Amino acid sequence: MSSLRARTAIVAAADTKVGAVPEMSATQLCVDAACRAIEAAGIGKEQVDGLLTCNAMAEPYMYHAEMIAEYLQIFPRYCMSIGAGGGTTFALVHHAATAIANGLCDTVLIATADAMRSGLSKERAFALMSSAGHPQFESPYGPSIPAFYALIAQAHMHAYGTTPEQLAAVAVNARDYASRNPAAQKREPITIDDVLASRMIADPLHVLDCSLVSDGGAAIILTSAERARDFPGEPVYLLGAGEGHSHEHISQARSLTTSAAVESGQRAYTMAGLGPRDIDVAELYDCFTPVLLIELEDLGFCDKGAAGEFVLAGELGPGGSLPTNTHGGLLAHCHPGNPGSMFSLTEAVRQLRGESCNQVAGAEVALAHAQGGIMSSHATLILGTEATR
């Protein structure tokens, strides 16, 4: 489990414009992100010999990675598109690091983007939201994705006494960070009362408990630790990575309140030789407010059932014990579908380089976590500076 520790490093990270970007398609956003990352790395595109992507819902291709390579006119020896929902980004990093460590390639471009806001009609968006359920046991009863996450929220409230105010505090924290991030889609501060007064989507989730719908893309360049010093940017080392996969459909989940983040987190901690107390900043998947609570608990940052009070006490905010989603997260920065977690990764890189607009003083170790499906597929990354290798 220690074989990948500090053997690879992120040497460039870049975001596109986010929010409503009607002038660019999902493919154009992906290519834009890729070109920005290549430029930030100070290399020519011909030096990229590995390309990993995830498909776009707004503009899907049968062979997405090959299509992006064709568009960029690069000819990588390692080329693959992966689909694991919102956890795809970090699974891509895990795959890329493994490929580099085993000599399959040297310089990997990971680029993801989608145009969920401008590239989908309302009808198609609703159809996608309603297509995630099991065709026999879920879809016939009509639930959409928010309803599935509302089920998770209700289970957590029933088991641990979690309150709507505690859920709302997650959204308030995200907006607080986003209000100081000029790149964020939603920058207006909100209060707990604002969240509770917003339109009900699926009890107990209000519209402000739900992530944004966005266009946008982001990309990174990953290479070996030995080559990382040849690039202009400060390397950010991959110290640990882990995945956990528990189910596809929520009706088949073994638990609604404990997820495979337990396994993915433990695997990442073991590889890194670190634990929750060593994390300076966290970037966690917050597609809906209850998801963040479960991740905080399953990743060991607080006891089971204690995350609601942890958030309400301000522990995720500036000056708290675990600054979290310092760019604004999916609830406030942007959420272009499966690529949404890529912005957590680029923010983690900025934090460890001391370049974030919400910089955490002395940040040397960051944890980034994402999940796909309905709490189905989890991936955890632990990143560090030169001092933590």
Alpha helical stretches, state H, the chain: 26-41, 64-72, 88-101, 122-129, 145-160, 164-178, 192-197, 225-228, 261-272, 289-298, 307-312, 329-332, 342-353
> In the predicted model, is pLDDT for residue 154 greater than 90?
yes
Q: What is the pLDDT of residue 358?
A: 98
CATH number at residue 345: 3.40.47.10
Q: How far apart are CA 38 and CA 23, in angstroms?
A: 22
Per-residue pLDDT of 174-199, as tens digits, reads 999 999 999 999 999 999 999 999 99
> In the predicted model, is pLDDT for residue 258 greater than 70?
yes
161 occurs within a structural domain: no
pTM: 0.96
> Where in the sequence is the domain holding 322, given as residue range(s)?
8-119+213-388
pLDDT bucket at 1, cuts 50 / 70 / 90: very low
Q: What is the pLDDT of residue 93?
A: 96
Total tally of structural domains belonging to the chain: 1
314 occurs within a structural domain: yes
Name the average pLDDT for the chain.
95
101 occurs within a structural domain: yes
- Residue 69 tokens read as 């390579």
Q: What is the pLDDT of residue 385?
A: 98
171 occurs within a structural domain: no
Per-residue pLDDT of 273-289, as tens digits, reads 999 999 999 999 999 99
